[in-house]
Amino acid sequence: MNKIALVTGATSGIGEACARKLAMIGYNMIITGRRAERLDAVAHELSAMGVGVITLEFDVRDREAAAAAINSLPPEWQDIDVLVNNAGGALGLEPEYEGNFEDWDTMIDANVKGLLTMTRLIVPGMVQRDRGHVVNIGSVAGDAAYANGNVYCATKAAVKALSDGLRIDVAHTRVRVTNIKPGLVETNFSVIRFHGDKEKADNVYKGIQPLTGADIAECVAFAVSAPEHVQIAELLVLATHQASGSVIVRK
Ligand code: 8X3
């Protein structure tokens, strides 16, 4: 049987692109997300590539639902080779002293606790089998805070710390851990950050050619396809006219 990859938040953006790319290079795919109809649409596309596909509908913030979904996998789908912790996002762009409690909880619950839940559920099997790869989707935002990014930046700094911590904790095994840190990627990321304000979201990518989900998916494929003795620990991937989370040259 082909190797198996699980991608969280595969219903759109970077997650969907990763699912597509991993299927393209021959992985059987487990795709997870909150929207059943989007999962079905992506599954339909991946099946047409000739790989096996399973959809699991749950929110990574719901620990019990996540555990139930993973435990429901048929035995032949349980030995997951690649876990892509992608689900999450940004909500709000305000000074820290004016931020919204609910937005903060959502980001911390998905970006940090959701990633931890999936790691806790899937990595024990990898350690036991002495093989596997965890790819965490971090962000340039985790390297240094930028104006009004505060809590989002903190969650992505946590993704870096958790990736580094896991890498240490599995160093005695052949399990590899990669933290991919994208900069500006045009997906529905900013529409969600601005609570549906399309105009504000479009402004984020004005005057600069942003990355695409497919660009990030290429990096994920590169990391998981590296020879077994090579561990791509981190990849910081920026748009060409972006130098950091806050230095962006628009033309
Ligand atoms: C997304 C990158 O720079 O918009 O994590 O925060 S940025």
Predicted confidence pLDDT, tens digits, the chain (251 residues):
799 999 999 999 999 999 999 999 999 999 999 999 999 999 999 999 999 999 999 999 999 999 999 999 999 999 999 999 999 999 999 999 999 999 999 999 999 999 999 999 999 999 999 999 999 999 999 999 999 999 999 999 999 999 999 999 999 999 999 999 999 999 999 999 999 999 999 999 999 999 999 999 999 999 999 999 999 999 999 999 999 999 999 99
Q: Residue 11: how many CB atoms within 10 A of its CB?
A: 25
Contact 55, 43 (CB under 8 A): yes
Q: How far is the CA of 3 from the centre of ligand 1 (A)?
A: 31
Nearest-atom index, ligand 1, CA of 204: 4
Pocket of ligand 1 (CB under 6 A): 139-141, 182-184, 245
Residue nearest to atom 5 of ligand 1 (CA): 139
pLDDT at 187: 94
Q: Which of 115, 179, 184, 187 to mutate to test the pocket of ligand 1 (most atoms within 8 A of CB)?
A: 184
Q: How far is the CA of 221 from the centre of ligand 1 (A)?
A: 21
pLDDT at 147: 97
Catalytic residue among 27, 97, 146, 152: 152
Q: What is the pTM of this model?
A: 0.97
Active site residue 152: yes
Residue nearest to atom 6 of ligand 1 (CA): 141
